Amino acid sequence: MRAIVQRVSRAAVVVDGATVGEIGRGICVLLGICQSDTAQDADWMSKKLLNLRLFDENDEQGGKRWMKSVRDLGLEVLVVSQFTLHATLKAEKMYADILESMRRDYQEDKIKAGVFGAMMEVSSTKLWPRYALTSHSSHARMKSHRPSWLTSLRARPGADS
């Protein structure tokens, strides 16, 4: 399981001309699910996303950096299924499970989502930085499930592997 997480001041996802998910300040998550991911991976990712400290303690007054999470600040989350992170379409149930877990563990009205497998337009106003996450149990399997474009990027001299 992989997620690209972006801090945003706003984000929305549109399917067939209709907005299906929209948030204000919070995080936009592009989520890729692997066939071998488990319910434990989904629970881990849900907790990680809700508790990831991407926000400053007090943005307006220059407080400590990287001290607050979505949960701490009562912010919103937009989750969008991202096929290209693992190239598998057989993950709809896991996607639904992650959304259910996040809604159960946080505030249901703060969790929005795109439509699994749909052609979506995602727009956001980003508040840098951007992070990539993986669950612990699927981390060991990553090399065998790494998209070819990512492998070729990492194969450059001097690139981390």
Active-site residue 82, yes or no? yes
Active-site residue 19, yes or no? no
Task: Tell whether the torsion through CA atoms of 4, 98, 52 and 121 is positive or negative.
Answer: positive
Name every residue whose Cβ is closer than 8 Å to that of residue 83 and which is 6 or more positions away in sequence.
Answer: 32, 89, 117
Active-site residue 35, yes or no? no
Q: Hey, what amino acid is at 12?
A: A
Q: Hey, what amino acid is at 110?
A: K
Choice among 84, 88, 107, 125 that is catalytic: 84
Name every residue whose Cβ is closer than 8 Å to that of residue 45 and which is 6 or more positions away in sequence.
Answer: 1, 3, 31, 98, 133, 135
The set of catalytic residues is 82-84
